[in-house]
């Protein structure tokens, strides 16, 4: 197993994400303690739930807390900015300021505004829900037919491809996110080989535009028991000429910062990558894993 020392965790959430906790400085100290070279904080900027629930005609006093938790990302982002502007970073770690840009094409004006923010080092492009559908987290897959699940996944990969063609991000985050619930939580088998061609299209789009993909290691610690994307797709990305790969724990608290990062690096190495990347001002820097 590769040592975590000297690696970079490019995907974490702190208290400035509606579903996460802990002060950003606590994340940084955890990363420093682990010996990481660099740590990114990439709080949720979900474009389709940017404003408070009422803005979308939802009565938040009547809704379940879980159903409205991701609304009002704007407020969290603004609060985060005012704290992160003043953050004092220890000398021996690089702090990467980022955002996880969710569903940019579902509120493109907001996305365009966010990606022009000058303080950002890294933008992760994510799709947590298909257009006009709830987050994959909320869907009841045991009440769906296999044709319905297939349609969901067809739409998911199509919409990820569309997002990559738009390209307003640095790194495509956690490709295969719905599998975390479909395969992980609900134990429903999905034949990913059906999506190999569209994933190839996604990767080619990412590669031509000089972007990269993430190996998200959070799934190693829940029911999915795998990375997102899994090894087969990371290999496909490599075979198509992909060179830029980041690692992300997707930690939602300080205790989880760096979780799975050395296993992610090991996987990248097994797929033929000699380097992993981290970002400063939207430009990749590389760390050898040879
Ligand atoms: Zn995400
Ligand atoms: Zn995340």
How far, in Å, is the centroid of ligand 2 from the Cα of 259? 13
Task: Give me the chain's average pLDDT, please.
Answer: 97
pLDDT at 37 over 90: yes
Report field, pTM of the whole predicted structure over 0.95: yes
pLDDT at 66 over 90: no
Average pLDDT, integer, range 277-285: 98
- Identify the structural domains of the chain with CATH numbers, from first to last: 8-288 (3.20.20.140)
The CA R_g of the chain, rounded to the nearest whole Å, is 18
C-alpha closest to that of 279 among 171, 122, 126: 122
Average pLDDT, integer, range 171-185: 98
User: What ligand is nearest to the CA atom of residue 46?
Assistant: 1
- 155 three-class SS: helix
Q: How many beta carbons lie within 10 A of that of residue 74, not counting itself?
A: 18
How far, in Å, is the centroid of ligand 1 from the Cα of 252? 11
Sheet holding 38-46, edge to edge: 8-9, 38-46, 94-102, 122-126, 171-172, 212-216, 245-248
Average pLDDT, integer, range 217-239: 98
CB contact at 8 A, 212 and 244? yes
User: What ligand is nearest to the CA atom of residue 99?
Assistant: 2
pLDDT at 120 over 90: yes
Q: What is the pLDDT of residues 130-175, one digit of tens each?
A: 999 999 999 999 999 999 999 999 999 999 999 999 999 999 999 9
User: What ligand is nearest to the CA atom of residue 174?
Assistant: 1
User: What ligand is nearest to the CA atom of residue 126?
Assistant: 1
Name every residue whose Cβ is closer than 8 Å to that of residue 255 and which is 6 or more positions away in sequence.
30
pLDDT at 271 over 90: yes
How far, in Å, is the centroid of ligand 1 from the Cα of 175? 9
Return d(Cα 186, Cα 172) in angstroms, integer: 25
pLDDT at 24 over 90: yes
How far, in Å, is the centroid of ligand 2 from the Cα of 246? 13
How far, in Å, is the centroid of ligand 1 from the Cα of 125? 8
pLDDT at 64 over 90: no
Q: What is the pLDDT of residues 83-113, one digit of tens each?
A: 999 999 999 999 999 999 999 999 999 999 9
* pLDDT at residue 1 in the model: 79
pLDDT at 197 over 90: yes
Average pLDDT, integer, range 32-41: 98
Return d(Cα 149, Cα 266) in angstroms, integer: 32
């Amino acid at each position: 197993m590769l040592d975590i020392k000297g690696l970079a965790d490019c995907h974490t959430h702190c208290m400035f994400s509606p579903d996460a906790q802990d002060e950003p400085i606590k994340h940084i100290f955890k990363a420093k303690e682990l010996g990481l070279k660099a740590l990114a904080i990439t709080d949720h900027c979900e474009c389709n739930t940017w404003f408070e629930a009422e803005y979308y005609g939802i009565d938040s006093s009547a809704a379940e807390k879980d159903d409205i938790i991701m609304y009002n990302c704007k407020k969290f982002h603004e609060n985060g900015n005012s704290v992160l502007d003043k953050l004092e970073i220890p000398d021996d770690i690089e702090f990467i300021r980022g955002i996880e840009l969710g569903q940019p094409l579902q509120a493109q004006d907001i996305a365009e505004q966010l990606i022009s923010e000058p303080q950002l080092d890294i933008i992760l492009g994510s799709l947590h829900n298909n257009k006009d559908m709830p987050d994959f987290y909320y869907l009841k897959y045991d009440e769906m037919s296999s044709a319905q699940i297939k349609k969901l996944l067809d739409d998911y990969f199509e919409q990820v491809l569309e997002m990559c063609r738009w390209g307003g991000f640095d790194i495509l985050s956690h490709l295969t996110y719905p599998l975390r619930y479909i395969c992980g939580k609900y134990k429903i088998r999905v034949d990913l080989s059906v999506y190999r061609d569209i994933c190839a299209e996604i990767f080619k789009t990412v590669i031509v535009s000089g972007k990269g993909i993430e190996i998200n290691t959070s799934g190693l610690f829940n029911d999915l028991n795998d990375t997102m994307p899994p090894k087969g797709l990371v290999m496909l990305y490599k075979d198509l000429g992909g060179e830029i790969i980041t690692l992300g724990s997707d930690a939602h608290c300080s205790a989880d910062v760096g979780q799975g990062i050395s296993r992610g690096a090991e996987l990248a190495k097994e797929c033929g990558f000699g380097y992993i990347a981290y970002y400063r001002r939207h430009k990749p820097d590389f760390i050898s894993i040879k």
